[in-house]
Amino acid sequence: MNAVDRWEAALADRGELTPEAVDRILDLHGERGARAIDAVSERRVKEYRDFTVVVGFDDEYVVEDDSCDCKDAEYNLDDDDPEELCWHAIAVRIARAVDAEDHHDMWYSEVREFL
């Protein structure tokens, strides 16, 4: 179990974002962790039938299995290191662990057609 899996399991056990969990996330992920925590607290993690989406400041980012379509994930992170995640993927893990996703009973692909 890597460090990300450990803080996620601890969050799921507690069911909430505790100060200790925040410290663990920030120690491991720094600014990315802080941005992820903000996104979760602002309910910007959206769960659709087909995708999980994190609403950023300029766009929405699709996250699947810790993979994200953002530029940070594409250019700056090591795909072979499971502890290197963009803030969108971190936010999804946090939101799922504490059941803080904003659930939408619809297909994201249909929502994108309207945007």
Please give the mean pLDDT across all residues of the chain: 92
| pLDDT for 32 | 97
Is 84's pLDDT higher than 90?
yes
Cα gap 101→91, rounded to integer Å: 9
Amino acid identity for residue 65 in this structure: D
pLDDT in tens, 25-52: 999 999 999 999 999 999 999 999 988 9
Q: What is the mean predicted confidence (pLDDT) over 89-103?
A: 96
H helix or E strand, kind and range, residue 38: helix 19-41
Residue 109 binned pLDDT confidence (cut-offs 50, 70, 90): confident
Would you say the C-alpha torsion 90, 31, 100, 104 has a positive or negative sign? negative
**Sequence spans of domains, the chain:** 3-114
